[in-house]
Structure 1
């Protein structure tokens, strides 16, 4: 009885804020409802058909996929290179650099997005002032151009979350015995050979887990995109989370049922990524990495 008593707050909060919204989204996706009035019309799968034939939905889906395909390799590779440098005993001030790279992770994403609006301001932002000194008259409107807004958000995202992946890699590198590097050096292996024949094989299980964790995290970028670009200009940086939010709360006439249908489809996509993550963790365990 005492066990259930202590578990009750967690069970109630999880049920109210996680289970109920998930179940509710499936039900709302079958309704024509604005989310504010008591008038609810059952429309079946009509919302799903409309979402399926909406080109802006597929554009947002493509932006979400592109965001994942670009940021994850960049984040994983750059953080690995940084971890190798900072893990070296010959690297001076390694703790200072670790702290500096991790500081953006500890900063609220919404605040980062707002600050980046000022940094990339086309008139007085420091980035554009530097670009103008390089000879680009008028600078570049990084967040106001449909050609650069999404890519700018990607760059900020990689910078923002590089530190968390760095910590993963640093923990993984601690599992590689120093004796192997010393033995390889005695045999005449250089830094590239040590990395290729010792570091890479031993980090393979960690690579699977870190990559899959980064994949799932890259799908949840609502706060960054919303504060930096709001999905604009002209939907050029709109990802699925922004698309769902726009129809649920940002439209002149909100359509919570339609937004819920889009959210269910997005949830199924995230579910597939979660399955891949589960399979990846199992594969990593088979190759020698614990839970």
Structure 2
């Protein structure tokens, strides 16, 4: 009995058979190319030019901007500030939001939805507006925070939260955590919704109390989500440009100089803008972000394997 091997259709035939899918994808592909692919390519090109952003003179300098960046102490300072913000705020934000999610996920808690909404409202508020408002709130000359501290007798004189290098970065980190706390909270609430109620019913049948169910059921089942949420929060934390710019502009004495702010200052805001050098700094910072994105992809695959085994 002979069998006839059917020839696979050619690429052109397969594309034509799915032509309507490509037609509907075309707007997305065009926007992705215009706003993602093209800026990446142009940044790589500009990073090899000595260009101020204006004028026709664009001498090609090759890798000179990258060599200058590696020897730029302020670039490494800004990268250290960014990594410090990540190292401090991410664990606190993830841990506190997990505890809050465990409380708000209780169906017997009154006004749980109200509390969820209240905690999420800052996340949808414009960051630049929050930065400006916080500048007034922490103002040493009559700001409500200093006024409260003076009335309670905690301090003898106003504290310049945003003007003192010893307190400015901590103040910015505190505002940043408050601003984006609701996003991480939503991540944990979504993760808690994936745990079947039958698991808790089985635990109660076996005599497990609230603490035992949390320790032996909830936390182990949330472990795969931990890696993803930590990496998502870290990537979000790197995008702190608008908050730092409106609150401190990288000062005082570069104490809050996040990398995005330094790139902006070099490319656009300096007395002599250097778009080519700013593009080189942006490419290097993009590589750092790419490392976190790669870790996120690995974390997602690990979480999927853990969930498939559980």
- Give the TM bin, normalised by the shorter chain: over 0.9
Query: Unpaired runs of 5+ in structure 2?
Result: 1-18
Secondary structure of 2:132's counterpart equals helix
Q: Report the equivalent of 2:11.
A: none
Q: Is the 8 A contact 1:30 1:43 kept in 2?
A: yes
> Where does residue 261 of structure 2 map in the other structure?
242
Could you tell me the TM-score, scaled by structure 2's length?
0.88
What's the secondary structure of 2:139's corresponding residue?
Answer: coil
Alignment-derived partner of residue 52 in structure 2 = 34
Q: Does 1:56 align with 2:74?
A: yes
Q: What is the aligned length?
A: 290
* Correspondence for 1:117: 135
Give the whole-Å Cα distance in 1 for the aligned partners of 2:63 and 2:152: 54
Is residue 156 from structure 1 mapped to residue 175 from structure 2 by the alignment? yes
Say which one has the larger Rg: 2
Unaligned runs of 5+ in 1: none
For residues 282 and 68 of structure 2, the distance between their equivalents in structure 1, rounded to whole angstroms, comes to 13
Q: Deviations over 1:228-259 (max 9, x none)?
A: 11111111101110010000011100011111
Q: How far off its partner does 1:139 sit?
A: 1.8
Match of 1:102 in 2: 120
Q: SS at the partner of 2:165?
A: coil
* Equivalent residues of 1:33, 1:39 under 8 A apart: yes
Measured in 2, the distance between the counterparts of 1:193 and 1:70 equals 30
Q: Which residue of the partner structure matches residue 214 of structure 2?
A: 195
TM-superposed CA distance for 1:7, in Å, is 3.9
Q: 79, 85, 100: which is aligned to 1:67?
A: 85
**123-132 or 56-65, which deviates more:** 123-132
Q: Cα offset for 1:16? A: 2.3
Which residue of the other structure, out of 216, 220, 228, is the alignment partner of 2:239? 220
1:89 correspondence with 2:107: yes
Return the offset for 1:194: 2.2
Matched residue of 1:31: which SS?
coil
CA root-mean-square deviation: 1.8
The answer to whether 1:165 aligns with 2:184 is yes
